[in-house]
Structure 1
């Protein structure tokens, strides 16, 4: 057994998480996913309509069609990669989407080069801006601002270099017309994300303060529950045994063995109460409503949780919230066999948690109910997967190798 060092716990809990709505509020960000395909579809439709409107100005119609195809590719990739099931939306995905959309805009500009009459009705800057407006939900604001500035400079420079425009003005004016939609919509999306991130962080602070105030009360409640459990045990076993001893007035070898057994059980109850793991408590609470079902009762919660190294300590408060919600959701499934719901944790150098159960339900139903939690764990600096084979459900989540430090302080 390899001990989990304090340095490893601190390192895991201190894993850098990007300050984005998707990272800070993964479940909330999932509800905004439809915005991405909607904006991508709007960009493609606008590009098609604008291209038709430029029919008389097209120098190379085939190039214009290719430009629409490239834009469609950018919209599809953005929609797929921002889907909750594929979280998180990474830096290189963001750059790839915007670069592809920018390439499409440049291709369209090339298709009308020398014949374009106005900058205002070109679709390039609008399409890039529509894809940028949703990016702050998934990527840091500074990163999105960089993409917006580069896109504005490129399309602004192309607009300033055009010489066929019917409205004669300074090149800087043409550049401003092309750059403004990109910068304006990107700034709008960034402002919304900034506000959302700030509110999420403030809510977290309020929640932590509330948790700190309630901690004493919860500890007292737990102590009362432990005392009540001990009293029930004493009344059920110890008191009748001692009463019988007093009545008989003699102590036999069998009585000594019985007394040792009662003492061992009472001591075991005290030890479990003091060192009760969080996963065991969570699983016990989740299955509490199914205590009357076959297989749900009669087992100590710790027997359902195989975590000899107490690896649950590496989980942050946010990760525990998602894992707790995942356990509660699985425990509430009508097709669950409660006796099969177990959780194991292995690997002090890289903790890997596996939740397994037998759930007799349709695969699509399980995926719809559990995928949001799997996606949320992915957004919270973990790597989570879900597998359904017949009635066997397996959810695996772990820290990625590149972010979890070894006890020696090294990184692989």
Structure 2
């Protein structure tokens, strides 16, 4: 173990995030999760209804039923993988869901091939389009556009190749009718996601400007707090000692040792107050309402709740700090928490890893419901986070992923 390499800090804070609502506003994207199963349910219901309407045109009923089953599989997978508990929703999950839904549509087309009378009431293009509407919330717009174009080409090509349509027209018209719902709904979802991410990025810039303006005031406030702590220590320790010394009129060996102890204590208090880290401040502020006489936790020895000798907290960027702070505050606010048990440990400078542990006497399901959104949010901002809840104990571990963007030299150390 060695000190944290500055290049590791730069590498960790420079991990690129995809421009998606899930990455830029993970908690907001979680609130929209219900949209996925709802749209999926609409797609399945419409598929069943459309298949029923095509009863006289179905050439292979078993294939038509298999198509509905495959679509249901795509909806289930999409609903599970986009759930906040499984964040983030990755590229291959996106391609798998749309690919399976597209396969389902192709199977339905095959089941009515040679007997299909109209393109516009087929359910394949509608089902794929409904699933594509929600994808821009989780995946980059360019990636979703690529899926939409490929799906439109496949569905449009199959429509153009059919020769049983009762309304005779150019095959290009058939292809256009089939492809339009996919392209239109995908474009609508992409437009919404583009606006949402744009507003989020603008809000971040405003927040950063506000934070910059407040930095000076915060430094002054911190200086006043440190001065107040030192003054309190002087009034409670140094002044009574000096007063007693003046009254006694003599200086003994014990007085010299006592003076040295007070001096070391005041010096250590000043150093620790100046060096107090963001993580220590966050934990101390969160626990302050729970402790009867919290005092300045880091002014008289190491912080009892934070073990970060290498100051690994420096690798956390603004988004990650916001989520970690919310996680600590949420744990500290739980009514069943044993405040003395909360501890945050940071280890491994090569791959900064953090472990939050606490004893909380509450039902396991309730704790998971409260903490899971924050753990999922950490997974959405380039951190691997896991949670374990058992026997009244909660442990949340989060670290930068193996093979990420951290400095390789630091890893070898």
TM-score by length of 1: 0.97
Report the number of matched residues: 409
3-state SS of 1:56 partner: coil
CA RMSD of aligned residues (A): 1.3
Which residue pairs with 1:211 in the alignment?
Answer: 211
Which residue pairs with 1:241 in the alignment?
Answer: 241
Which residue pairs with 2:315 in the alignment?
Answer: 314
The whole-number CA distance in structure 1 between the counterparts of 2:297 and 2:361 is 22
Task: Give 1:299 deviation, angstroms.
Answer: 5.3
Deviates more, 1:1-10 or 1:20-29: 1-10
Which residue pairs with 1:347 in the alignment?
Answer: 348
Distance 1:185 1:368, change over 3 A: same
Task: Give 1:351 deviation, angstroms.
Answer: 1.0
The whole-number CA distance in structure 1 between the counterparts of 2:238 and 2:295 is 23
Question: Which aligned pairs between 1:270-349 and structure 2 lie closer than 5 A?
Answer: 270-292=270-292, 300=298, 302-349=303-350
3-state SS of 1:387 partner: strand
3-state SS of 1:386 partner: strand
Asked if 1:198 corresponds to 2:193, the answer is no
Distance 1:409 1:342, change over 3 A: closer
Asked if 1:93 corresponds to 2:102, the answer is no
Q: Say if 1:101 and 1:128, in contact at 8 Å, map to a contact too.
A: yes
Task: Give 1:407 deviation, angstroms.
Answer: 4.8
Structure 2: tracts of 5 or more residues without a match: none
Which residue pairs with 1:151 in the alignment?
Answer: 151
The whole-number CA distance in structure 2 between the counterparts of 1:399 and 1:209 is 28
Which residue pairs with 2:369 in the alignment?
Answer: 368
Which residue pairs with 1:71 in the alignment?
Answer: 71
3-state SS of 2:303 partner: helix
Which residue pairs with 1:381 in the alignment?
Answer: 382
Question: Which aligned pairs between 1:212-227 and structure 2 lie closer than 5 A?
Answer: 212-227=212-227
Task: Give 1:375 deviation, angstroms.
Answer: 0.2
The whole-number CA distance in structure 2 between the counterparts of 1:57 and 1:164 is 10
3-state SS of 2:166 partner: coil
Task: Give 1:268 deviation, angstroms.
Answer: 0.9
Which residue pairs with 1:401 in the alignment?
Answer: 402
Which residue pairs with 2:108 in the alignment?
Answer: 108
The whole-number CA distance in structure 2 between the counterparts of 1:271 and 1:304 is 18
Task: Give 1:249 deviation, angstroms.
Answer: 2.4
Q: Say if 2:351 and 2:411, in contact at 8 Å, map to a contact too.
A: no
CA-to-aligned-CA distance 1:64-115 (integer Å, 9 cap, x gap): 0000000000000000000000000000000000000000000000000000
Q: Say if 2:291 and 2:339, in contact at 8 Å, map to a contact too.
A: no
Q: Say if 1:291 and 1:297, in contact at 8 Å, map to a contact too.
A: no
Q: Say if 1:283 and 1:327, in contact at 8 Å, map to a contact too.
A: yes
3-state SS of 1:144 partner: helix
Q: Say if 1:350 and 1:404, in contact at 8 Å, map to a contact too.
A: no
CA-to-aligned-CA distance 1:356-390 (integer Å, 9 cap, x gap): 01100000000010000000000000110110111
3-state SS of 2:337 partner: coil
Structure 1: tracts of 5 or more residues without a match: none
Task: Give 1:406 deviation, angstroms.
Answer: 3.2
Asked if 1:128 corresponds to 2:123, the answer is no
Q: Say if 1:48 and 1:68, in contact at 8 Å, map to a contact too.
A: yes
TM-score by length of 2: 0.97
The whole-number CA distance in structure 2 between the counterparts of 1:325 and 1:142 is 32
Which residue pairs with 2:20 in the alignment?
Answer: 20
Q: Say if 2:47 and 2:127, in contact at 8 Å, map to a contact too.
A: yes
The whole-number CA distance in structure 2 between the counterparts of 1:298 and 1:209 is 30
The whole-number CA distance in structure 1 between the counterparts of 2:247 and 2:23 is 67
CA-to-aligned-CA distance 1:117-147 (integer Å, 9 cap, x gap): 0001000000000000000000000000000
Task: Give 1:410 deviation, angstroms.
Answer: 7.4
